[in-house]
């Protein structure tokens, strides 16, 4: 049996997205900047896509800027806030220790430019405490950037509370919502979000396209110099097929959200129940305040990669954390941020589900995992020590 359960890394392109992209590639090939009918058809299609994306976020179409993905949107949002802050001599940035590297590394870059950076504690449950944020905000705070939902452990932050605090204190609030868009209901206006990043391939759209929401009134920085695309803020001919695919995928995800979430969270809970029965296992992150699709576990005495290779041999495609860090030997910065020791953090497994996963697939995982963990533990000197200590 084959089971793709790495949907937090990326999702397969959905039917709606594929159809709209194919149609676009074959028929709407014009450049939206061209004045002729073929070009205007592309411009119209892009306008509709902007409306669709805006609708799904509780935003106006003119507040949506298309990007090459979540990473670009994160970089852009942080750059905008940092430069705006500098104009008012505000050079303090607030974020969390377990942000995606697109945010963390961007913030570090500004830190090198003389900004000060405060990283909020995300505690053992992977949640920011709004009162801690409130006391971290200073007179010179330019930006608060807190991810909507964590990509490795799936915890969902109290975004509306964070937004309210930031608005009251006059600080810009950015949220990296890459894992949340299309999976959780979002209302940028109601939740008082100023800047929001999203990526199409996390909700069955294509790779290489995303968007930045920038609340009306915030002067967005110019990200790319050149032509007048994206209201002069991001030059370069637009990725029309990608944008069309993203809009179609998001529209579908938002329309089916309630139904899909019910199904996916039931599968997730079934998995959590079974995995936490394995001796010396733990579920990482808050037990209930989490995304419908993400479950992250640690199994003492084993290392994550070995488990992934065994799972792959049994047709199960999972992850041991963020795919972006798999080239690194360091354990997940997310798991370290929630207080796990290095040796535990090495033994993590992330299973991320989508509505395309079935009960049979989850049962296959539940059937295979305990034996594979046992196999790795049986040859692990770390596990032997744990057992000896338990016995003594």
* Residues at the contact surface with other proteins, assessed by CB under 8 A: 301-303, 305-306, 309-310, 313, 327-331, 341-343, 346, 378-384
Is the sign of the CA dihedral 375, 378, 380, 385 positive or negative?
positive
**Cα–Cα distance for residue pair 322/127, rounded to 1 Å:** 18
Rounded CA-CA distance 47/60 in Å is 11
Closer to other proteins at the Cβ: 327 or 391?
327
Active-site residue, 166 included: no
Contact 132, 164 (CB under 8 A): no
Shorter beta-carbon distance to other proteins: residue 293 or 331 = 331
What whole-number distance in Å separates Cα of residue 157 and Cα of residue 169?
Answer: 19
Return d(Cα 378, Cα 301) in angstroms, integer. Answer: 9
Choose between 94 and 316: whose C-beta lies nearer to other proteins. Answer: 316
Local structure of residue 194 (DSSP, 8 states): S
Tokens of 77: 């949002």
| Residue closer to other proteins, measured from CB, 28 or 338 | 338
Nearest approach in angstroms of CB 345 to other proteins is 9
Please identify which residue in the block is written with the tokens 């000060």: 116
Closer to other proteins by CB, 6 or 252: give it: 6
For residue 376, how many C-alpha atoms fall within 13 Å in the half-sphere facing its CB? 19
Give least dist CB 274 to other proteins, A. Answer: 24
- State how far the Cα of 301 lies from the Cα of 383, in Å rounded to an integer: 4
* Catalytic site positions: 324
């Amino acid at each position: 049996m084959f089971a793709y359960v790495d949907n937090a890394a990326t999702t397969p392109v959905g039917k709606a997205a594929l159809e709209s992209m194919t149609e676009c590639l074959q028929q709407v090939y014009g450049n939206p900047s061209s004045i002729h009918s073929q070009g205007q058809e592309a411009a119209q299609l892009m306008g509709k896509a902007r409306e669709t994306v805006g609708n799904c976020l509780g935003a106006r179409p003119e507040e949506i800027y298309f990007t090459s993905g979540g990473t670009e949107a994160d970089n852009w949002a942080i750059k905008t806030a940092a430069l705006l802050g500098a104009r008012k001599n505000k050079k303090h940035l607030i974020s969390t220790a377990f942000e995606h590297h697109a945010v963390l590394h961007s913030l570090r870059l500004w830190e090198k430019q003389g900004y000060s950076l405060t990283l909020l504690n995300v505690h053992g449950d992977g949640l920011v405490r709004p009162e801690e944020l409130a006391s971290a905000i200073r007179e010179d705070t330019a930006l608060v950037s807190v991810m909507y939902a964590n990509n490795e452990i799936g915890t969902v932050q109290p975004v509306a509370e964070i937004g309210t605090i930031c608005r009251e204190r006059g600080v810009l609030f950015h949220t990296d919502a890459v894992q949340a868009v299309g999976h959780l209901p979002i209302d940028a206006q109601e939740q008082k979000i100023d800047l929001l990043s999203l990526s199409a391939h996390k909700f069955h759209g294509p790779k290489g396209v995303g968007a930045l929401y920038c609340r009306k009134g915030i002067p967005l920085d110019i990200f790319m110099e050149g032509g007048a695309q994206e209201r002069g803020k991001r030059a370069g001919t637009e990725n029309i097929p990608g944008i069309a695919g993203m809009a179609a995928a998001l529209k579908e995800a938002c329309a089916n959200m309630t139904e899909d979430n019910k199904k996916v969270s039931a599968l997730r809970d079934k998995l959590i129940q079974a995995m936490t029965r394995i001796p010396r296992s733990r579920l990482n992150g808050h037990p209930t305040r989490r995304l419908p699709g993400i479950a992250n576990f640690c199994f003492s005495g084993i290392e994550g990669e070995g488990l992934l290779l065994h799972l792959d041999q049994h047709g199960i495609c999972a992850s041991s954390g963020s795919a972006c860090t798999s080239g690194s030997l360091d354990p997940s910065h997310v798991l370290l941020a929630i207080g796990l020791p290095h040796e535990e953090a090495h033994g993590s497994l992330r299973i991320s589900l989508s509505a395309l996963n079935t009960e049979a697939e989850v049962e296959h995982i539940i059937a295979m995992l305990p034996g594979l963990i046992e196999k790795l533990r049986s040859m692990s000197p770390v596990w032997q020590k744990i057992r000896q200590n338990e016995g003594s």
